[in-house]
Amino acid sequence: MLVTIYTLVVRILLTGLCARAVPTPKDVLHNAQVFLEKYGYIDRDKKESNLGELEASISHFQWLSHLPVSGELDTRTLLQMNEPRCGMKDVSQPRWTEQHSAISNQRRRKRYALKNKWYKRHLTYQIVNWPWYLSQHQVRQAVKAAFELWGNVSSMTFSESSSAAADIRLAFFYGDHNDGATNAFDGPGGALAHAFFPRRGEAHFDNAEHWSLNGRGRNLFVVLAHEIGHTLGLQHSPFKNALMSPYYKKLGKDYLLNFDDILAIQNLYGAPPSGKLFQLPGKKFAYFLDWNSENGKGSESDTTKESPSYCRSVFDAITWDMQNILYIFKGRHFWTVTPSGNVSEPHLLQSRWKKLPVYIEAAAVSASTGKFYFFKGAKCWRYKESQLEAGFPRKCSSKGFPRHPDTAFYFHPLGHLVVFKRTKYYVINENSLTVEPYYPRSLKDWKGIPLETTGVLTHPDGSIYFFKGEKYWMFNQDKLRVTASGKWAEDLSWIGCKNN
């Protein structure tokens, strides 16, 4: 058996499947063993490299994954092991060899161990945290919809609670998060989430995934609904199109729950009191801005007012004008924040600056002329108030400006605009629109500033703030280095994300 695995693995290496990482056959075998153990195919106590045992585990995995059962680590088996999936075990026991004789009986029996259920019909849940780039409103809507999915086909009902005493808590974690080394998250891909059977009431999601609720990236709603299934007592389903199948599925157009999911939940909690099943097609769950199960239209029942949407994502550019009004640019919109902290509604860029493209890359206001500069690609735009100046947009890159600049701002000590691009910064002469002599220079002059920032500005108090992702760095002009850093949405009150 060992020989078979080795030859197979060698063959796989030669065919180039693993060309990227070039693992040795030993690594491949080891990784497969770790996988089979993590997902319950190998009994940890019995694993002393018993090859019969290993072959049986591989067979079991192949059978549950709808692959040809060969007991060997062939290409398809190894590929299947690399698919993104739920971190919960596929098998609690019994062994495949025993099961093989009575597959149909075993399959149904092992789906729901009798004690793994709740003994009440109404459960509360708490959303402990969520990815910073998703809106709280959308996450709440998605979680609500995910619980309703199960409530609509069973006798269970659910409601959100802000208390940590809720029956079920949903939380996002990075890496090891204190529930055992085998539950440590593994970065993007691999295990996406896991949960605990009743009545522990916990579902954990890998914060390293790029979760999304708008149809792109890793669909959080599908994974929420799956993990909630576990918290209610459901194990993995051997049916490929079941929501409780262990592998990540994209959100399809069809119903999310298949008959196996519905049988499993009703086996634990019975049918809805009405006797009727209420199912919604997957396409209803593609967007969560205004999710409502009855009609799919908006129902704004939230009492807490949301902070503006730039607060939860990466903005394109940020600048302060001569009246100390802060401007934040993102996509097609911009927001203003007054010195007293009043945040505007989102306005369309073109409503103020005609002919300006959307998704600009950098913006700055000159403190000597009050003019607005915008940069995107090879071009730049200059406006006096709302008026595009003659000769703009122009191809600034032909005068030595960097293409696709990271950020720009007006630097008072030099009395010039400064444009940043990766490892360099450029000082710009506003009259000639050329790069000043001896520039560009190295970003190292800005000690402590990371590469590729998304925004930079001078605060009216004189300190310079750089932004990237959810973080900011405050550059002290006297000490010529970073003297503070943190999360801008939380720490900088003047940015308008708090208490509004």
Residue positions in the annotated binding site?
A: 86, 167, 177, 179, 186-187, 194, 204, 206, 209, 226, 230, 236, 244, 316, 318, 363, 408, 456
Q: Which residue has the tokens 């550059």?
A: 475
Binding-site positions for Ca(2+) read: 167, 186-187, 206, 209, 316, 318, 363, 408, 456
Residue 86 or 495 having the CB closest to Zn ion: 86
190-213: buried (b, 16+ CB within 10 Å) or exposed (e) per residue? bbbbbbbbbbebbbbbbbbbebbb
Q: Write down the catalytic residue from 227, 300, 385, 436.
A: 227
Helix-helix angle 25-38:51-64, to 10 degrees: 70
Q: For residues 88 and 428, which CB has a smaller minimum distance to Zn ion in the complex? A: 88
Q: Which is nearer to Zn ion, 157 or 183 (CB)?
A: 183
Q: Smallest distance from the beta carbon of 64 to Zn ion, in angstroms?
A: 13
Question: Toward Zn ion, which CB reaches closer, 17 or 263?
Answer: 263
Select 166 or 408, whichever has its Cβ closest to Zn ion: 166
- Quick one: 35 or 409, whose CB is closer to Zn ion? 35
DSSP 263: H
Q: Are 205 and 161 in contact (CB under 8 A)?
A: no
What residues make contact with Zn ion under the rule CB under 5 A?
A: 86, 88, 179, 183, 204
- DSSP-derived 3-state class of residue 208: coil
Reported in sequence order, the residue ranges of 266-361 that DSSP labels E, i.e. its strands, are 317-320, 326-330, 333-337, 347-348
Measured from the Cβ of residue 345, the count of other Cβ atoms closer than 10 Å reads 8
Find the DSSP H helices in 323-436.
349-352
Q: How far is the CB of 227 from Zn ion (least distance, A)?
A: 7
Beta strands in 74-217 (DSSP E): 85-86, 122-127, 157-160, 168-173, 191-195, 202-206, 211-212
Task: State yes or no: is 227 an active-site residue.
Answer: yes
For the CB of residue 180, give the shortest distance to Zn ion in the complex, in Å.
Answer: 8
Please identify which residue in the block is written with the tokens 């999304």. Answer: 212
How far is Cα 195 from Cα 169, in angstroms, rounded to an integer? 10
Smallest separation (angstroms) from Zn ion to the CB of 203 = 8
CA gap 414, 430 in Å, rounded? 12
**CB of residue 140 vs Zn ion: minimum separation in angstroms?**
21
Query: By C-alpha distance, which of 450, 446, 474 is closest to 462?
Result: 474
Binding-site positions for Zn(2+) read 86, 177, 179, 194, 204, 226, 230, 236, 244
Round to whole Å and give the CA distance between 490 and 54. 51
Min separation Cβ 470 and Zn ion, Å: 23
Bridge partners (DSSP) of residue 75 are: none
Catalytic positions, written as ranges: 227
